[in-house]
């Protein structure tokens, strides 16, 4: 009896160890990716936890497929606030030794995080003739498999996956290895660069930029750091009127505050307003917009006069940059920050609204 008990205990320990080992690293690819908990009735509930792109968690797997790729433990489920009958595929994951669920196409299993250092094309296979129309932009966090590659030298293609925020899908393919970095310091430095870019307080911005210099970053990141320092200095020179933080929501309207609301929007002449990298005409044009709902995190402290109109410059969060195909159909949207003159903004709660 004692011998059987010992054998059973050993088997139980072995099974527990095997079960514990059935996990693999998963890379978070979505911005502010939510973690979910399963409610008793089987519906997913937001666990009040969000992760940044590039963070790694553990995903439960049931084994590997014929291509030796990990097979995730998944569950198709509805979620809080979902429309009736709407479901998504969730993967069981572990974060800080606690179990959760993540929407399956927001993570990549068995790969490592990487940062895209410059705009790059993507390829369906290791063949350079299989290039896709859709690429990835500088600063995108992707997941890569450095062991799965083709070509050599400057023309080495590596297996990768990234989350397409505009289409809500996980895209896989290949990318040039020289256009990515897999070092944690580069990924951390880029996040800090974006934080510094949006920081209105000069002292805090300089502190962020200084913290980046303590990291071991690549030459490309160092170039971006130098550019950010120059832009910060330029911003200071261009805004003797100062910058203040705000939290406002408005409608950006290229026809300005005095639009003729008696004319249906579909009959109105399409015009565009420039969104600039800095307040003032010295700022580069980031994108052109006609009509958008917008949120603003800061504005100039003093008004300026342009073409006889006195107003502030406003900093717009995530101005959409749309890309269309030859047929005029939307194929890609990315988001950038920029400045817009206040003459083109109006309160969002007016009766006339094209939406």
Tens digits of per-residue pLDDT, 40-73? Answer: 777 999 999 999 999 999 999 999 888 888 999 9
Confidence of residue 4 (pLDDT cuts 50, 70, 90): low
pLDDT score of 15: 46
Determine what percent of the chain is predicted with pLDDT higher than 90: 35
pLDDT score of 16: 45
Nearest CA-CA partner of 169 in 45, 54, 59, 30: 30
Could you tell me the fold of the domain covering 112-181?
A: SH3 type barrels. (2.30.30)
At 290-343, the pLDDT tens digits run 888 788 888 888 888 888 888 999 988 777 777 777 777 777 777 778 889 988
Which of 148-152, 221-225, 328-332 has the lowest average pLDDT? 328-332
On whether the CB atoms of residues 205 and 198 are closer than 8 A, the answer is no
Average pLDDT for the chain: 82
- Given a cut of 90, is residue 39 above it in pLDDT? no
> How many residues in the chain?
355
Confidence of residue 29 (pLDDT cuts 50, 70, 90): very high
At 255-265, the pLDDT tens digits run 776 666 665 55
- Given a cut of 60, is residue 3 above it in pLDDT? no
Tokens of 328: 């005029």
Confidence of residue 156 (pLDDT cuts 50, 70, 90): very high
pLDDT score of 13: 45
Q: Phi, psi (5° rounding) for residue 217?
A: -105, 160
Cα separation, 95 vs 25, whole angstroms: 11
For residue 96, the Cα-to-chain-centroid distance in whole angstroms is 23
- Given a cut of 70, is residue 230 above it in pLDDT? no
pLDDT score of 213: 82
Q: Can you tell me the mean pLDDT for 347-351?
A: 64
Cα separation, 55 vs 113, whole angstroms: 8
CA distances from 171 to 143, 147, 157 (A): 11, 19, 16
Q: Which of 67-76, 194-203, 265-274 has the highest mean pLDDT?
A: 67-76
Cα separation, 51 vs 48, whole angstroms: 10
CATH of 15-109, one of 3.30.160, 2.60.40, 2.30.30, 1.10.10: 2.30.30
Vertex 21: Cα angle to 18 and 26 (nearest 5): 150
Residue whose structure tokens are 């179990």: 99
Confidence of residue 140 (pLDDT cuts 50, 70, 90): very high
The DSSP bridge partners found for residue 188 are: none
At 163-187, the pLDDT tens digits run 998 889 999 999 999 999 999 999 9
**DSSP secondary structure of 192-238:** HHHHHHT---HHHHHHHHHHHTTS---HHHHHHHHHHHHHHHHHHHH
Confidence of residue 350 (pLDDT cuts 50, 70, 90): low
Give the residue with greater pLDDT, 89 vs 347: 89
- Given a cut of 90, is residue 286 above it in pLDDT? no
CA distances from 286 to 76, 104, 334, 342 (A): 40, 33, 11, 17
Q: Can you tell me the mean pLDDT for 123-145?
A: 91
Confidence of residue 27 (pLDDT cuts 50, 70, 90): very high
- Given a cut of 70, is residue 19 above it in pLDDT? no
Q: Phi, psi (5° rounding) for residue 328?
A: 80, 10
Cα separation, 286 vs 200, whole angstroms: 19
pLDDT score of 296: 85
């Amino acid at each position: 009896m004692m011998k059987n008990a010992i054998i059973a205990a050993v088997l139980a320990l072995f099974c527990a160890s095997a079960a514990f080992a059935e996990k693999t690293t998963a890379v978070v690819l979505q911005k502010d990716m939510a973690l979910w908990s399963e409610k008793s009735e089987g519906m997913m509930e937001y666990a009040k936890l969000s992760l940044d792109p590039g963070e790694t968690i553990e995903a439960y797997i049931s084994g590997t497929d014929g291509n030796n790729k990990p097979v995730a433990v998944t569950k198709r489920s509805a979620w809080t606030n979902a429309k009736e009958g709407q479901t998504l595929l969730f993967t069981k994951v572990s974060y800080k030794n606690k179990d959760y669920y993540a929407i399956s196409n927001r993570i990549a299993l068995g790969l490592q995080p990487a940062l895209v250092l410059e705009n790059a094309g993507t390829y369906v296979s290791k063949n350079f003739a299989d290039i896709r129309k859709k690429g990835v932009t500088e600063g995108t966090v992707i997941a890569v498999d450095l062991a799965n590659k083709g070509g050599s030298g400057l023309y080495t293609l590596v297996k990768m996956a990234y989350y397409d925020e505009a289409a809500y899908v996980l895209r896989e393919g290949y990318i040039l290895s020289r256009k990515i970095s897999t070092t944690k310091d580069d990924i951390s430095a880029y996040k800090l660069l974006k934080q510094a870019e949006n920081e209105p307080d000069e002292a805090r911005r300089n502190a962020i930029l200084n913290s980046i210099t303590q990291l071991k970053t690549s030459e490309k990141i160092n170039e971006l750091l130098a550019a950010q320092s120059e832009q910060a200095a330029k911003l200071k020179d261009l805004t003797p009127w100062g910058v203040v933080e705000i939290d406002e929501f408005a409608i950006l309207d290229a026809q300005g505050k005095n639009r003729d609301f008696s004319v249906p929007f579909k009959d109105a002449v399409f015009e565009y307003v420039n969104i600039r990298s800095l307040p003032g005409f010295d700022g580069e044009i980031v994108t052109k917009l006609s009509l958008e709902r917008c949120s603003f995190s800061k504005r100039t402290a003093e008004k300026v006069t342009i073409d006889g109109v006195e107003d502030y410059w406003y900093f717009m969060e995530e101005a959409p940059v749309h890309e269309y195909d030859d047929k005029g159909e939307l194929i890609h949207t990315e988001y950038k920050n920029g400045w817009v003159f206040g003459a083109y903004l109006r309160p969002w709660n007016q009766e006339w609204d094209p939406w």
